[in-house]
Amino acid sequence: MTNRLFWCLVFTALISGCGRSQLDAKASDHTPHPSAPVSAPARIEGADRTIQLASPFQMPVLAVHVQQGQQIKLGDVVASLDCRDLSFDAKALEEEAKSFELVALKLSNGTRKEEILVARARHAGAIATQQEAKTRETRFSELHAKGMVSQAALDDLRKTSIVQAYETKTAEANLTQAMAGPLKVEIAAAHRRASAASAKAKAVNEKLNKCDVRSPVNGTVLRLNVRAGEMTDVAGEAIAQIADLSVMRARAEVDEKDIARIKMGTTARVRDEAGIDVPASVVELSPVMGRKHIKTQDPADKTDRDIREVIVRLEKPLALPIGYRVTVVFEHAP
């Protein structure tokens, strides 16, 4: 009995030890080794985020000057908008400004001697015509009294005398104005109108300069969204998408449990299923955590885990499309 109890205790101890060792072994399998590399899904991007080249205002497209996949430089014209109406408006405003400037110049120079002489001659002629009309009115009055002229003829002559008197006053006022010279208020008003027209013309010309939509960076045209004749939309789809592909990067999503092991300068390898294997290094760490956006084929991958975006720079550019999915394997911190 005593021997049987002894061997039962020994057998139980052996079983317990084996079970514990197996559990410890399984636990060690799920605990990452501190020196093991960290893998994270990523997508290829250019030297910076893809630029959405928008239209400055709603206008028909006159011409598109680039093609999809074409390399362009800073300042190259991507598309031209049909701004011919704006061009006509700008020219009209410029001519209006010149006209008001000429008026202001004429007022500043004052009335010419020739104009004063003409005003004097018109005033003298108006006085002579008025005196003649008065003389005829007096004679017709005498003839009317003798019954030799009708009342209607006398009334017509009196009306002519009244009109001539007003013309004489007008000629006198014009002569006075010519002799007095321009008022400062008139000169200032002409200058203000010229300045207002110039300001409007400048605003229209500035808008015209934006009719050639230019690239803000050196890069590659990834996509064109408009064609000649189509209407652009300020709040809608961009005219083109441009990215700088001279330097290629990968934006990786590192799991929250591994972020402490990734630092600036950490070396990495960028790989894909086709055999690409390119060295890279960490150049940017996101200051905030976020949610996963890249879906993997691993059924055990959890999409609700927090991640940190880590950007690595490839040591050599590859002929890969923007958004291409790769895996970044982080190796050692500096």
pLDDT tens across 251-303, in order?
Answer: 999 998 888 889 999 999 999 888 889 999 999 999 999 888 887 666 556 66
Burial group, residue 68, by CB count within 10 angstroms (0-12, 13-18, 19+): exposed
Q: What is the CATH number of the domain that holds 293?
A: 2.40.30.170
- 309: containing domain: 34-48+246-330
Say if 22 falls within a structural domain: no
Alpha-carbon gap, residue 134 to 164, rounded angstroms: 9
Say if 115 falls within a structural domain: yes
User: Among 243, 265, 289, which residue terminates a domain?
Assistant: 243
- Sheet with 51-53, side-by-side order of all strands: 51-53, 240-243, 219-224, 71-72
Q: Do 153 and 266 sit in the same domain of this protein? A: no
Q: What is the CATH number of the domain that holds 233?
A: 2.40.50.100
Position 237: which residue type? E
pLDDT beyond 80 at 6: no
Average pLDDT, the chain: 82
Say if 188 falls within a structural domain: yes
pLDDT band at residue 42, thresholds of 50, 70 and 90?
very high
Number of Cβ within a 10 Å radius of residue 208: 16
**Residues 19-35: tens digit of each pLDDT:** 444 544 444 444 455 56
Q: Do 111 and 196 sit in the same domain of this protein? A: yes
Q: Do 92 and 123 sit in the same domain of this protein? A: yes
* pTM of the full structure: 0.53
Alpha-carbon gap, residue 26 to 30, rounded angstroms: 7
Give the pLDDT mean for 299-326.
82
Alpha-carbon gap, residue 249 to 328, rounded angstroms: 11
Q: What percent of the chain has pLDDT over 70?
A: 84
**Residues 109-159: tens digit of each pLDDT:** 766 677 777 888 888 888 888 888 888 888 888 888 888 878 888 788 888
Side-chain half-sphere of 211: how many Cα atoms within 13 Å?
Answer: 18
* Whether 217 contacts 244, CB under 8 Å: yes
Q: Do 305 and 216 sit in the same domain of this protein? A: no
pLDDT beyond 70 at 12: no
Q: Do 169 and 307 sit in the same domain of this protein? A: no
